[in-house]
Structure 1
Amino acid sequence: MRIPFVKMHGLGNDFVVLDAREAALPALDTARVRAIADRREGIGCDQLIVLEADDSATCQMRIFNSDGGEVEACGNASRAVGMLLGEPATIRTKGGMIATRPDAGGIAVDMGEPRFDWDAIPLAYAMDTASLPLGWDDLEHPLAVNVGNPHLVFFVPDCNAVPLETIGPVIETDPVFPQRINVNVATVGDKGTIRLRVWERGAGLTRACGTGACATAVAAMRRGLTDRAVTVHLPGGPLAIAWGADNRITMTGGATESFRGSFDWDSFG
């Protein structure tokens, strides 16, 4: 059974997209996702994206990290799927309904409203998400926010100096985060500019993370460090993030189709 796919990326965060809106795929399991995502013996990607039919939305988007786990949201994948759809669309995710539309800056995504309650992150116990009384080495007092998936944000003098490849997995799997967490280290340049690096839950260091950019921008705005519209510069490129008076986050940026192909489903069992 040969399955067509589209290989895409958003600022270097790459995806294999499978379109199952008209014909359902066989059941996906962790081993198959890992095999497809493997960069040496599979197609290779940070996330596997599956589009499915939905009676009350343009489509449903399922998101699987390269470790095989299914997650709630992915901002870069949302832009990529928005580009594939080619017109204004509503997309159901496990993290909630989002909307995409073509924009002069690429694809604009309505990412919904951020959540700050400790049990919405979720955390293992109640604490102030605006300044958590927690620390790991030199990283202390982060903010926590859920933008469809859970994020922890640290503001540091130089995000490039943080050994995120070693401290990221330690924080991600700390028991205080029962569903694990994405780890963001950010440096504010001015009221309209942030530099950001992200350790992505289930995927590791990534060149770009759309939900991380949204979470970090909102965290900076919550602390009064920036204006309500900023450019977030990730290793893969910039994203424009705005947090509107209606409490909704809009992310705007590009997405790229790399190539198309097909593979034998049974070869990745």
Structure 2
Amino acid sequence: MIFYKYQGTGNDFVMIDDRENQFDDQDLKLISSLCDRKFGIGADGLILIRNHPDYDFEMIYFNADGSQSMCGNGARCAVAFAGFLGVVQKETHFLAIGGPHEAVLTDEAVELKMGNVSGVHEAGDDCFVDTGSPHHIRFVDQIEQYPVVEEGKQIRYDERYSPGGTNVNFVSPIREDELFVRTFERGVENETLSCGTGVTAAAIAYAQDKKEANVKIKTLGGQLSVRFKRNSDESIEDIWLTGPAKQVYKGQIDL
């Protein structure tokens, strides 16, 4: 099987051109083995690009453990891959889990329009935002030294999020319009260098007092930005996640 490896601010994905529908997406053991960093290719997730009669393409996304959810950085990488394949040009309308998305592809970045968000919800002393994937948000000091994995595991399996669990984001403001975000991702079961839906949730939770916001995001894997508009009922729309998406290499693996 021919595959490609892409990364978006350190969030990395195995990308497969499956427009001929040859990949068995019911074989979750295979998906997990391909994402295994010791015995497989190694990635935070696996993405299939498929044809769709009503959209430019369909993105089928799997976490490293074979579970499925929306992935912002994965979707940006999927758009870059679709551009590489010649499926899309500068603008695209594609389908992902949870519904359709728009994106703009440039030489430097991919701008992805996320789905609307109902609002920010209390979660004890923290808060919760669903950006297509569930995200618990905790604001912390000294984020560079914060025990992200230890604390993230406890919250990820908290009974309030049973049975599916949640992603966990630890957030620290750098300045008024910039955040440092670190994320423990369910499905990967570890800290990742970046999480697109997570930084989107963090930006929305941070700028609760603003009708419009454009927030810069620092992650361990690089820089992202999130812009959005807030309605009078506290719902959020016109959400755009922007950042780089790069091809790392092309390879072949025997299945």
Aligned to 1:166: 150
Report the secondary structure of 2:22's partner residue. Answer: coil
Q: 2 CA distance for matches of 1:225 and 1:26?
A: 45
| 2:86 counterpart residue number | none
Is residue 2:62 matched to residue 1:78?
no
Q: 1:226 to 1:234 in 2, by over 3 A?
A: farther
Contact (CA 8 Å) 1:24, 1:52: kept in 2 or not?
no
Whole-angstrom distance in 1 between the partners of 2:61 and 2:5? 14
Matched, 1:153 2:137: yes
Residue 93 of structure 1 corresponds to 96
| Distance (whole Å) between structure 2 residues aligned to residue 28 and residue 20 of structure 1 | 14
SS at match of 1:68: coil
Determine the structure 2 residue equivalent to 1:248.
238
Unaligned segments of structure 1, at least 5 residues? 117-128, 134-140
- Aligned-partner SS, 2:159: coil
The aligned amino acid for 1:69 is S
Cα drift, residue 199 of structure 1: 0.3
Q: CA deviation at 1:105?
A: 4.6
Residue 191 of structure 2 corresponds to 205
Q: Residues 177 and 210 from structure 1, CA distance in 2 versus in 1: closer, same or farther, beyond 3 angstroms?
A: same
Superposed displacement of residue 198, structure 1 = 0.3
Identical positions, percent: 29
Post-superposition Cα deviations, 1:28-72, rounded to whole Å, max 9, x if no partner, equal 32211111011121111110111222221111112111122122x
2:116 to 113, 130, 152: 113
CA 1:226–1:115: 2 relative to 1, 3 Å: closer
- TM-superposed deviation, 1:216: 0.4
How far apart are 1:150 and its partner, in Å? Answer: 0.7
Provide structure 2 residue ranges, at least 5 long, that are not aligned to the other structure: 84-88, 232-236
1:262 aligned residue (224, 228, 252):
252
Structure 2: distance between partners of 1:37 and 1:250: 28
1:134-149 alignment runs, 5 A limit: 141-149=125-133
C-alpha distance in 1, partners of 2:18/2:29? 19
Counterpart residue type for residue 245 of structure 2? A
Taking structure 2 as the reference length, the TM-score comes to 0.89
Alignment partner, residue 19 of structure 2: 21
Distance across 1 between alignment mates of 2:19 and 2:139: 41
Q: Cα distance 1:27–1:217, how it changes in 2: closer, same or farther (>3 A)?
A: closer
AA in 1 matched with 2:98: G
Q: Distance in 2 between matches of 1:5 and 1:215?
A: 31
- Indicate the RMSD between aligned Cα atoms, in angstroms: 1.9
Which amino acid letter does the alignment assign opposite residue 217 of structure 1?
A: A
> Structure 2: which amino acid aligns with 1:84?
F
Q: For this pair of structures, how many residues does the alignment match? A: 242
Distance in 1 separating the partners of 2:168 and 2:98? 18
**Could you say what secondary structure the match of 2:46 adopts?**
strand
Aligned to 1:53: 51
- The separation in 1 between residues aligned to 2:223 and 2:244, in whole angstroms, is 9
- Identify the range of structure 1 (94-103 vs 174-183) with the bigger mean alpha-carbon deviation: 94-103
> Equivalents in 2 of 1:249, 1:187: separation in Å?
21
Quick one: distance in 2 between partners of 1:259 and 1:215? Answer: 30
The Cα of 1:6 is off from its aligned counterpart by: 0.7
